[in-house]
Amino acid sequence: MSEPIPYRRLSGFYFFYFALLGAIVPYWPLYLKSLEFDARTIGMLMAIVQGSRIIAPNIWGWAADRTGRRIEIVRFGSGMTALVFLAIFWQDSAVGIAWVMLAFSFFWNAVLPQFEVVTLRHLGAQRARYSLLRLWGSVGFVLTVVVLGWALDAIGVDWLPWIMLGLMLLIWCNSLLVSAPALSARASGGGEGFLRTLRSPQVMAFYGIVFLVQFGHGPYYTFYSLLLESLGYSRGEIGLLWALGVIAEILVFAVMHRLMSRFGIRSLMLISLWLCVLRWLLIAWVPDWLPLMLLAQVLHAATFGCLHVLGISLVQHYFSEQAQGQGQALFSSLGFGAGGAAGALAAGLLWDTQGSVAAFVAAAAASAVAIVLAIIWIRPEKLQQNER
């Protein structure tokens, strides 16, 4: 008899993890700006969080696949995130803040890919319900951006590090409540199988798309709040716009299992990538027109929500059970890591030299290249999961 699925504990972890992301993405650039850093410095500092995902998830993913101690790694990474972040209260220089951001993000970015595998192992045959669990992360994000937007207008952005520390401690506490899922006899080793699958052209194209999609999100995650603030939006209004995007994401998570069964992965991916191009061009050309900004935020359902679930599904489809930790880690490191860092760095350089329009047009161009790769290569039915 299988063990009951711990829905509340799994959902709680996603809730607090993405609540922390909801504090970092919209408001950490504002905190850095309050320290009188310029756009290039802010872009470089934000790129550190993304860049640490290039290496950290792969190190921890390899360790988790080799040892099978996945939930212990999640707990250790969560605890160390809070511990090393304490040093932020003694830093006010760009170099000092950079070291703290590198240290805490090295552990923080190791956590989510392995928790995704833990969640999918707990779900077992009910993996289609993943999006219904993951949507609670979006709920945590949207509540944080709304509440913090108004709160920081009232109490000041100086309180942000304390709020982030509290959320880090809640992530760690929740990780202690999640038990290790049952481990099948096949779910150990597998390094050779991982590399063999990775060499497939379709899998390489998939990871190329992952990189390009997150490159396109680089200007958005790093400078969207600053762009809106420069156009006269209040922090409360900025928070509501971020919240609208994540509400749209929550709604698509709730129906994603139905959309996938009706339209299939390939069609949904192509539609979502075309909507990426539309979204970034709207932000590039008409950021001061509120109705179109509302539309751009609603498109977050496709550009992040839909593409994220499709990516998780393809990792599960492409890689055998014993290699899924490394497959999921690479999904995070190439996308949110290398792609996000490259996008943030490129946006910082373009912002100072060419302005906001060039940064978001570059994001749209990256999405257009991803469309070409998807049209040629993404045909999941032609590459079955390797069960060796």
Specify whether the CB–CB gap between 287 and 238 falls below 8 A: no
Specify whether the CB–CB gap between 123 and 132 falls below 8 A: no
Helices assigned H by DSSP within 320-355? 324-332, 340-353
Sign of the alpha-carbon dihedral angle for 295, 51, 83, 329: positive
Indicate whether 362 pLDDT > 80. yes
Query: How far is the C-alpha of 263 from the C-alpha of 127, rounded, in Å?
Result: 18
Q: What single-letter DSSP state applies at residue 334?
A: I
Instruction: Write the DSSP string, 361-378.
Output: HHHHHHHHHHHHHHHHH-
Q: Which three-class secondary structure state does DSSP give residue 339?
A: helix
Query: How far is the C-alpha of 104 from the C-alpha of 79, rounded, in Å?
Result: 10
State the Rg of the chain over Cα. 20
Q: How confident is the model at residue 279 (pLDDT cuts 50, 70, 90)?
A: very high
Instruction: Write the DSSP string, 270-319.
Output: HHHHHHHHHHHHHHHH-TT-HHHHHHHHHTHIIIIIIHHHHHHHHHHHHS
Average pLDDT over residues 329-353: 85
Query: How far is the C-alpha of 26 from the C-alpha of 233, rounded, in Å?
Result: 13
Q: Which three-class secondary structure state does DSSP give residue 84?
A: helix
Query: How far is the C-alpha of 334 from the C-alpha of 366, rounded, in Å?
Result: 14
Indicate whether 77 pLDDT > 70. yes
Specify whether the CB–CB gap between 92 and 35 falls below 8 A: yes
- Of the listed ranges 88-97, 178-187, 265-274, 309-318, the least confidently predicted one is 178-187
Indicate whether 322 pLDDT > 80. no
Q: What single-letter DSSP state applies at residue 178?
A: P
pLDDT for the residue numbered 191: 57
pLDDT for the residue numbered 3: 64
Calculate the average pLDDT of the chain.
88
Query: How far is the C-alpha of 343 from the C-alpha of 359, rounded, in Å?
Result: 9
How many CA within 13 A on the CB side of residue 6?
18
Indicate whether 183 pLDDT > 50. yes
Hey, what domains does the chain have and what are their CATH numbers?
A: 7-180+187-382 (1.20.1250.20)
Indicate whether 251 pLDDT > 90. yes
Indicate whether 190 pLDDT > 70. no
Query: How far is the C-alpha of 171 from the C-alpha of 59, rounded, in Å?
Result: 21
Query: How far is the C-alpha of 69 from the C-alpha of 165, rounded, in Å?
Result: 26
pLDDT for the residue numbered 1: 42
pLDDT for the residue numbered 85: 95
pLDDT for the residue numbered 387: 40
pTM of the model: 0.80
Indicate whether 366 pLDDT > 70. yes
Specify whether the CB–CB gap between 316 and 179 falls below 8 A: no
Specify whether the CB–CB gap between 370 and 212 falls below 8 A: yes
How many CA within 13 A on the CB side of residue 93?
3
Model confidence over 16-33: pLDDT tens digits? 999 999 899 888 988 998
Q: What single-letter DSSP state applies at residue 337?
A: I
How many CA within 13 A on the CB side of residue 96?
10
pLDDT for the residue numbered 383: 64
Task: At 77, list the tokens.
Answer: 């990474």
Task: At 78, list the tokens.
Answer: 């969560």
More confident residue, 127 or 271: 271
- Of the listed ranges 22-36, 56-70, 251-265, the least confidently predicted one is 56-70
Return the closest-CA partner of residue 75 out of 180, 181, 175, 179.
Answer: 175
Q: What single-letter DSSP state applies at residue 175?
A: H
Indicate whether 365 pLDDT > 60. yes
Average pLDDT over residues 361-387: 86
Q: How confident is the model at residue 273 (pLDDT cuts 50, 70, 90)?
A: very high
